[in-house]
A and B are shown apart, each in its own frame.
Chain A
Amino acid sequence: GEDVEQSLFLSVREGDSSVINCTYTDSSSTYLYWYKQEPGAGLQLLTYIFSNMDMKQDQRLTVLLNKKDKHLSLRIADTQTGDSAIYFCAEKTSGTYKYIFGTGTRLKVLA
């Protein structure tokens, strides 16, 4: 079945770049997402990329998609303490209702 995998933890120093990685198995994925979950809150959509794109940049966020390797990454430039959260990768195939989420990566930003 479909699967989305992420590492569980990442720790970076304030001001450095963070790179959170994700791999997925479904080659028919159409949309790939990054969500952020702050403590005690629901998920907030950060950014998304269509499967026919390689890269998307949105202010401090850069998403890279390697469709051949089914690898998605989220780079956060100039990471701040407010970026400390859990980041979820998710994928969805067009025409279906189902979103497949990864386990989430807990990002800790050290001052």
Chain B
Amino acid sequence: DVKVTQSSRYLVKRTGEKVFLECVQDMDHENMFWYRQDPGLGLRLIYFSYDVKMKEKGDIPEGYSVSREKKERFSLILESASTNQTSMYLCASSFHTSYEQYFGPGTRLTVT
């Protein structure tokens, strides 16, 4: 069974704090993704990584950065959290040639 895990289910942070969201997959997938999910907007891609140390910006990268030092781990970093980054964050992974993405359970981040 493919497993994608995220470090926290719920997180509350203050404005201006640096926030790390961690994602780990156990299936040796090359591709990893970070999305945010907001009501009425669906899923929007923040960043994508297709290999270790490789990353590409998605549709809404502003205010975020990512790190992929190991194949199984993809981190999303909010350098200085703001209230408009309050959202559900979803991590996903897939093989290069696969049509299917596997999702983690999500982290609900609240920035106060």
A-side contacts of B41, CB under 8 Å:
103
Contact digits for A37-65, partner B, Cβ 8 Å, 1 yes 0 no: 00011111100100000000000000000
B-side contacts of A88, CB under 8 Å:
42-43
Distance in Å from the Cβ of A46 to the closest Cβ of chain B?
A: 11
A-side contacts of B90, CB under 8 Å:
42-43
Task: Report which of B45, B100, B105 forms a contact with A42, defined as CB distance below 8 A.
Answer: B105
A-side contacts of B104, CB under 8 Å:
42
B-side contacts of A24, CB under 8 Å:
none
B-side contacts of A33, CB under 8 Å:
99
Interface majority SS (helix, strand, loop, mixed), chain A: strand
Contact digits for A1-37, partner B, Cβ 8 Å, 1 yes 0 no: 0001000100000000000000000000011010100
The verdict on B103 contacting chain A, using a C-beta distance below 8 Å, is: yes
List CB contacts (< 8 Å) of B16-71 with chain A. Answer: 31, 33, 35, 40-45, 48, 50, 56, 58
Task: Report which of A8, A40, A97, A103 forms a contact with B50, defined as CB distance below 8 A.
Answer: A97
The complex places the Cα of A88 from the Cα of B56 at a distance, in Å, of 24
- For the A-B complex with A88-B43, A92-B99, A104-B42 known, give 9 more contacts whose Cβ atoms are closer than 8 Å: A4-B42, A30-B99, A43-B43, A43-B103, A45-B100, A98-B58, A99-B101, A102-B42, A103-B41
